[in-house]
Structure 1
Amino acid sequence: MVLERQGVISFDLISKLEFNDPLYLHPSDTSGASLITQKLKGTENYNVWSCAMKLALQTKNKLGFIDGTCVRYEYEDDEVLLGQWDRCNSVVLTWILMSLSEDVYSGQIFSKNVESVWSELKETYDKIDGSVTFNLYKKINSCSQSGQSLSDYYHKLNAMWRQFDDMIKIDDMVSANKSFQEHNQFLKLMQFLMGLVDVSDLNLTVNLPNGTVAKILQIGNLKLSDKIQLLMCWLFHNTMLV
């Protein structure tokens, strides 16, 4: 009878947890479904994987289990909440393990604490690999429109630029140096224009980092209308360059 009453009290306490409480678990959270489709393979895709995983955990209000803001010892005075913390830790750990490639998974399967796993993965794979950086930059420089629509070409190039910037921690550099930020934006604009099939006869101008204005004379053979030209410049300035 005592155990039954304790069970009722425990269930009642857990059921009263608000959805914004890090210990709250929705029934679907324990379904075994993967949070993200990206599999961590190693250094080559750690940045993309960690970004996707943190975003997914944020939607579940479970970031605290990997960044140290929701820790076990805070609930040691309450046996019920302590047990709930252990369940949440196991759920988040399962989500992360399910998003690892087979080789990475085998090295973490016996881990018990999700924060420790996250820290170890970061320490192991959050590194600037010269060959990975080179190959990505090579793809950026060889990227061209090549039959794609203007928007498809832009989004493909922009995705690679954002991955490259994150890989070399470009935000830390540009935030402290406005001139470098403008130069970096100018290089991206030049890369975008060089990959177009043609921008001849567009009367297209760009603002240089030194404050002067340059006219793009020729980069190919496809003629775009003034409307598309203006759309391209607006899209690039307001999305990629800001």
Structure 2
Amino acid sequence: MEGPSDHTSPYYIHASDYPRQLHINDVLTDLNYNDWSQEILNFLFAKNKVGFIDGSIKKPEPSANTYMAWMRCDAMIKGWLTTAMEKEIRTNVRYAATAQAIWADLKERFGKDNTPRAYELKQSLVTTKQESAFVSAYFTKLRSIWDEIEMVLPIPSCD
């Protein structure tokens, strides 16, 4: 059975894991939710913990043998998330019951209406110039804008 000592289990916590461990480029602010959430997802994916924030790993009943392992992992993830936020934002999610609740709250607050951000990105794309930058630097800047546009306004699939 998959459990806290099985390194492939989502309940596994490595000895080097601790709540303030998260290393990301920028903390969450009012302006960078899309980039921040992508970094957090990548980190949690690498740690095999995405299921705790997307709801696919449900909180067990207190009588279940995985309950304490789930609680430890959820507490760790809450620590990772709140460490990666500006103080004002962290204060607003401090009392959330679970990491999933924090994630849902942030998504509701920052991920709602992307129309203004899409407009800003499109304007940035139109006004970005190579000037004296190397082609690779110019392409990297354009690619970054394109990638964020795709995230903010995903192209519907034809399935």
What range is the shorter-chain TM-score in? 0.7 to 0.9
d(CA) in 2 for partners of 1:68, 1:164: 26
SS of 2:94 mapped into structure 1: coil
Give the paired residue count: 157
Residue 95 of structure 2 is aligned to residue 110 of structure 1: yes
Alignment of 1:63-212 (within 5 A): 63-73=50-60, 76-78=63-65, 81-169=66-154, 171-172=155-156, 175-176=157-158
d(CA) in 1 for partners of 2:63, 2:134: 58
Q: Compared with structure 1, are the counterparts of its residues 75 and 57 closer, same or farther at alpha carbon in structure 2 (3 Å cutoff)? A: farther
Q: Which residue of 1 aligns with 2:24?
A: 36
Q: Which residue of 2 aligns with 1:46?
A: 33
d(CA) in 2 for partners of 1:102, 1:31: 16
More helix by share: 1
Which ranges in structure 2 are unaligned for 5 or more consecutive residues? none
SS of 1:148 mapped into structure 2: coil
d(CA) in 1 for partners of 2:125, 2:40: 25
d(CA) in 2 for partners of 1:135, 1:127: 16
Which ranges in structure 1 are unaligned for 5 or more consecutive residues? 1-12, 178-242
| Structure 1 residue corresponding to 2:9, chosen from 7, 21, 36 | 21
SS of 1:115 mapped into structure 2: helix
d(CA) in 2 for partners of 1:148, 1:50: 29
Cα deviation, residue 102, structure 1: 2.0
Q: Using structure 1 for the length normalisation, give the TM-score.
A: 0.60
CA deviation digits over 1:88-130, x for unaligned, max 9? 1000011011111222111011223111111111112112344
Cα deviation, residue 38, structure 1: 2.5
Q: Is contact 1:37-1:99 (8 Å) kept? A: no
Cα deviation, residue 31, structure 1: 6.0
Cα deviation, residue 136, structure 1: 2.2
- State which structure, 1 or 2, has the greater radius of gyration over its C-alpha atoms: 1
d(CA) in 2 for partners of 1:73, 1:88: 12
- Greater relative contact order (CA < 8 Å, ≥ 6 in sequence): 2
- Which ranges of 4 or more aligned residues in structure 1 deviate by more than 4 Å? none
Cα deviation, residue 165, structure 1: 1.9
Cα deviation, residue 66, structure 1: 0.5
CA deviation digits over 1:39-94, x for unaligned, max 9? 2223x42221111111110000001100112122267321xx32121111000011
d(CA) in 1 for partners of 2:152, 2:114: 9
CA RMSD, Structure 1 to Structure 2 (Å): 2.0
Aligned-residue sequence identity (percent) comes to 25
Q: Is contact 1:18-1:24 (8 Å) kept? A: yes
Q: Is contact 1:21-1:61 (8 Å) kept? A: yes
SS of 2:90 mapped into structure 1: helix
d(CA) in 2 for partners of 1:129, 1:71: 29
Q: Which residue of 2 aligns with 1:57?
A: 44
